[in-house]
Amino acid sequence: MGFEFSGARTRWGLLCAGVAVLGLVACSRSSSSQPQVEVTSLQAGATPFIAMLGLRGNELSAVQSIDYLIAAKPGAASRPVHVQYTIAALFRQARLRTLGFDRWGGNLPVYGLYAGYLNAVTVTVHYADGTVKALQVPVQTAAYVDPNGVYDVPLLKVARSAGSSLGFDYAMLKSNYGPPVIVDSDAAVRWVGSAAVPALPSTVSGDGFLVGDQGAPNLFILGLDGSVVEQPLSDPAYLYFHHNIDRGKTGFFGEVDTMTGTTTNIESNLIELDQSGKVLHHWDLAAIIADYMKSQGDDAAAFVRPGVDWFHMNASTYNAADDSIVVSSRENFLIDIDYQTGAINWILGDPTKYWYTFPSLRAKALLLDAGGLYPVGQHSVSILGDGAIMIFNDGFGSLHQPAGMPAGINRSYSAVSAYTVDPVAHTAHEAWEFDYSQSILSTVCSSAYQTADGSVLVDYAVADNFTHARLVGLDPAHNVVFDYQYSTTGCTTSWNAMPIALENFQIQ
């Protein structure tokens, strides 16, 4: 995709007069006393989905924000990409600078473009008095061919219909081939980065992604503009990241491994950190559980086994309702701990598993209403707007219990389950579930995340015996709006997927 403006001083007045200059048409008043904006350059980004647009204007003190909209292709059901930066954010990120005499200039990143297409982009400058100055910018991009032969060749089992109701239009797929991949609800690839950074432990942060290094105590900040920043953790005692990075109370929850002497503490430590890599809090679930079991007279060493994948933490979420953290232990249960003290509040899990044989753990167990699905091998725990706790309920029993100990049930299908908890009565109720007519089993990995209107993005990471990843969009009534299939080997294609609001992406 090689494009660039050669005439860097296209005047606003000429544009307003309707003169076609470098393929741009501007909409504004021509008086020199009014706000003026001009395009100075257009350059290719790191991949065909990214471009850098040079801008220059005046009346900086009156500018509030700059946004851009990428028109949807004809027939597309997904809403257009719409990104808005406040002027403060653009200056804070050094994208814009002052040029003197109340003038400004710099580069605006444009991401979410269609590859191999003449994109119709509208860039709008918003002023404090309500005045807007808009530029129509055509952006021709190069074609994209996925080197893995996956993301650009989806199978549309159920294509989204135009006008269908859905609370999201874009999905971030956490790929182990490299950085996250963004696809729209029409299954078109809309963003791929250039960094060779596998993105299993990742989440959205600002106008980019926070990615945990799976081989070292480092964070990567991958900008949607194609930038890459590597940031070491403040404490090198943590070995590396695994599984998820989730939103915490004040920062991000990261699942990490640690060492005690020569023994690796496998997937049982949770930290909260900020984007600079500073570790804010640390919860050692092995110590929390062992100390509690010992206090109740149980043999903690029989359950908490350092050097063994006895816990297998794969997700966590902060619950503001009671200042707690719900942690997913794939091998055992959901466990809720107090954010400040780490004290165990409750446990919800399959009572036919090994953990339930310990009286101390059984005393913390919630009783699930008859007919509800207990969490089994669950992933992607989150708190919904109504306070319910949602998981992807894989349905696959434990893998690392001691020899001869019960591994729990195995289901023939996976589901999405949402629970309400009554901590006083010590009960749980499965408020709703979606099991796709019990037609898909995804035994490991996978996810389900809900948007504000109740729509749900479901990711069956290893459907069809680890050969396909299925991305399914549900409307608020849990009707299937789209269902796209990708090839995969293990959890590589989309170990986890979550909505990303590129249709209304605001950077403050």
Domain closes at, from 94, 111, 140 = 140
164 and 114 in a single domain? The answer is no
132 and 237 in a single domain? The answer is no
Residue 4 belongs to a domain: no
| pLDDT given for residue 208 in this prediction | 96
Residue 336 belongs to a domain: yes
Q: What is the CATH number of the domain that holds 226?
A: 2.120.10
- Containing H/E element for 146? none
Q: Name the residue among 381, 401, 388 with its Cα closest to residue 498.
A: 381
| Distance of alpha carbon 91 from alpha carbon 388, whole angstroms | 39
Residue with tokens 């996810």: 447
For the chain, the C-alpha Rg in angstroms (whole number) is 25
Asked if residue 6 has pLDDT above 80, the reply is no
DSSP category for residue 366: P
Residue 71 belongs to a domain: yes
CA quadruple 261, 198, 157, 146: dihedral, nearest 10: -150
169 and 31 in a single domain? The answer is no
Q: Give the residue-averaged pLDDT of 298-326.
A: 98
Q: Give the residue-averaged pLDDT of 105-118.
A: 98
167 and 99 in a single domain? The answer is no
362 and 494 in a single domain? The answer is yes
| pTM of the full structure | 0.92
118 and 196 in a single domain? The answer is no
pLDDT digits (tens, 9 = 90+) for 371-415: 999 999 999 999 999 999 999 999 999 999 999 999 999 999 999
161 and 124 in a single domain? The answer is no
Domains contained in the chain, number: 2
| Distance of alpha carbon 352 from alpha carbon 362, whole angstroms | 11
22 and 126 in a single domain? The answer is yes
Domain closes at, from 114, 140, 166 = 140
- Do residues 381 and 389 lie in contact, with contact meaning Cβ atoms separated by under 8 Å? yes
Asked if residue 8 has pLDDT above 80, the reply is no
113 and 220 in a single domain? The answer is no
pLDDT digits (tens, 9 = 90+) for 154-186: 999 999 999 999 999 999 999 999 999 999 999
Range of the domain at 136: 12-140
Residue 1 belongs to a domain: no
91 and 179 in a single domain? The answer is no
CA quadruple 477, 482, 488, 492: dihedral, nearest 10: -60
Residue 6 belongs to a domain: no
* 33 confidence band (pLDDT: 50, 70, 90): low
Domain closes at, from 110, 140, 170 = 140
128 and 168 in a single domain? The answer is no
- Containing H/E element for 45? none
118 and 244 in a single domain? The answer is no
- Do residues 381 and 390 lie in contact, with contact meaning Cβ atoms separated by under 8 Å? yes
